[in-house]
Amino acid sequence: MTEKTIAGIQVKVLEDGYLEDMSQWNEDIAKEIAKEVNIELTDKHFEVLNFLRDKTKASETLTIRSVGKSGIVTIKELYQLFPKGPLKFSSKIAGIPKPTSCV
Amino acid sequence: MSTQEKKPLEKVCMICAKGSLEDVYATLVMANGAVMEGIETKVFFTFFGLDGITKKTMNQLHTATTGNPAMRMPGGLPFPTVLGGLPGVESAVSSMMRKQMEELDMPPVDEFLEMITAGGGEIYACKLAIDMFKLTKDDLSDEVSDILTIGQFYELCDGDRTQIIFT
């Protein structure tokens, strides 16, 4: 675990860049992390991020299937929003732990 | 710390030649996992594996209840082989397996194939096996992009950081 300054805020991050404490997250932090993986966040991205954060707060295991059934995006759109890492990158940008599900 | 540069996998090619529930799902989970990791993914279904992409069979795959030493009763006791041979037992066990997978958010096969192609993964059927089982492209899931010979499939498997996995 290391301390890192993202968008002017001191946050705790784990080895691979995931926030340790999801309550330290805000939209500016999200935009900074998104830049690292070359993603420019839109409103649609934030809808997904907020969905992921809500599910995480409710202690639900996240899968891309559950995001696909959320009514926010289809799985195909999820891949378009977060290329090459629909769950991995979206979780990182949402400030929640690295996904542990295989689906 | 090692200074050696990491060389992540770029492409994964899978060959599924068996048609039991667990064989097909092992392939689908690995293929979908690769797509989710941003790895280029191509899956080739051949012989009995074709059941996994044939419309009529793909959502009714079975797990073997005879000749399967890892088979257990709910609770962990060994599953008697004699029991496995009784009519209906294999269907019941298979549907129970499917139900348990559904609880872990593992989708039915047709939906799983859609998830893989939604992320850019590609599904192929083996020409030789298609001819042997007298199937046509219309019998196959719409997610199947083409019917290929194994030679054509190998051509798709080029690249330094490519792995071929046989399940």
Tens-place pLDDT, residues B122-151: 999 999 999 999 999 999 999 999 999 999
A83: phi then psi, degrees, rounded to nearest 5: -60, 140
Section B109-134 average pLDDT: 98
CB B86 within 8 A of CB B45: no
Sheet of B122-126: strands edge to edge?
Answer: B144-148, B122-126, B40-45, B11-16, B162-166
- At B1 the pLDDT is 53
* Residue A31 in domain: yes
Number of other CB atoms surrounding residue A87 within 10 Å: 21
Q: What is the pLDDT of residues B11-38, one digit of tens each?
A: 999 999 999 999 999 999 999 999 999 9
- Residue B29 is assigned to a structural domain of this protein: yes
Q: Is B99 helix (H, G, I), strand (E, B) or coil?
A: helix
B67 φ/ψ sector (left φ>0, alpha ψ -120 to 50, else beta)? left
Question: Which range of residues forms the domain containing residue A47?
Answer: 2-93
Largest CA distance in chain B: 60
Q: Can you tell me the mean pLDDT for B41-47?
A: 98
Q: Using the beta-carbon criterion (under 8 Å), do B29 and A79 form an inter-chain contact?
A: no
Is residue A102 in some structural domain? Answer: no
Q: What is the CA radius of gyration of chain B?
A: 18
The yes-or-no answer on residue A13 being catalytic is no
Q: Assess if residue B103 is contained within a domain.
A: no
Instruction: Using pLDDT thresholds of 50, 70 and 90, give the confidence band for residue A1.
Output: confident
Q: How far apart (Å, rounded) are the C-alpha atoms in residues A55 and A63?
A: 11
Q: Is B98 a domain residue?
A: no
- Provide the pLDDT for residue A102: 85
Note whether residue B24 is domain-resident: yes
Whole-number pLDDT of residue B3: 66
In a domain, B26, yes or no: yes
Structural domain tally of chain A?
Answer: 1
Predicted TM-score (pTM) above 0.95? no
Domain of residue B25: give its range.
Answer: 11-62+109-166
Q: Say if B71 falls within a structural domain.
A: no
Query: In terms of CA atoms, which chain A residue is nearest residue B39?
Result: A84
How many structural domains is chain B composed of?
1
Residue A98 lies in a domain: no
CA distance A10 to chain B (A): 26
CA angle A95, B12, B151 (to 5 degrees): 160
Note whether residue A48 is domain-resident. Answer: yes
List the CATH number of the domain containing B124: 3.40.1260.10
Q: Please write the tens of the pLDDT for every residue from A23-81.
A: 999 999 999 999 999 999 999 999 999 999 999 999 998 999 999 999 999 999 999 99
Q: Is residue A101 part of a domain?
A: no
pLDDT band at A2 (very low <50, low <70, confident <90, very high): confident
